[in-house]
Structure 1
């Protein structure tokens, strides 16, 4: 895991989190396009990394794809920890 940590670019992670959040907000839960979010974030991460580095190499592509995929995990963690979890809503409805 330490190997991949050196490839995180927080700027790319942040941009991809925002794009993923907007995508999930604008689509309904049953939308089949949501299953492509990790793939799209990896590709967007690669493109942003190449723009940021002003070049293309395998290391830059790996950095971008790892950062893009990390954004999907960050979004899920944000959704589970920061936003009101479902189990809290269920307990308040029972009362």
Structure 2
């Protein structure tokens, strides 16, 4: 599978917006369980990308992928900073 197609639909604004929203959900809103954060960010990424790039099925799917990617980026950064391994 060729992953270069993902770079054509990458929107930095959406990823950064999801990163910031995920941080706020995790650290400031204590009622949200951690297992719901990736789903919330996928939905938020889909909505943000639809607003930025236009409302199509393709932009919604890529937005959800960017929301999930922001979750993975946060986890990788946290593990790098804390120097922990599972």
Length-normalised TM-score, structure 2? 0.80
Q: Give the aligned partner of residue 47 of structure 1.
A: 47
Task: Measure, in 2, the Cα distance between the counterparts of 1:86 and 1:49.
Answer: 33
Task: Measure, in 2, the Cα distance between the counterparts of 1:24 and 1:17.
Answer: 11
Task: Measure, in 2, the Cα distance between the counterparts of 1:47 and 1:74.
Answer: 19
In structure 2, stretches of 5+ residues that fail to align are none
Asked which structure has the greater CA Rg, the reply is 1
Preserved contact between residue 41 and residue 65 of structure 1 (Cα < 8 Å): yes
Q: Give the aligned partner of residue 36 of structure 2.
A: 36
Q: Give the aligned partner of residue 13 of structure 1.
A: 15
Task: Measure, in 2, the Cα distance between the counterparts of 1:74 and 1:25.
Answer: 16
Q: Give the aligned partner of residue 84 of structure 1.
A: 82
Mark the CA change 1:4 to 1:43 in structure 2 (over 3 Å): closer, same or farther: farther
Q: How many residues align?
A: 83
Task: Measure, in 2, the Cα distance between the counterparts of 1:62 and 1:12.
Answer: 13
Mark the CA change 1:38 to 1:45 in structure 2 (over 3 Å): closer, same or farther: same
In structure 1, stretches of 5+ residues that fail to align are 88-95
How far off its partner does 1:10 sit? 1.8
Query: Are 2:25 and 1:23 equivalent residues in the alignment?
Result: yes
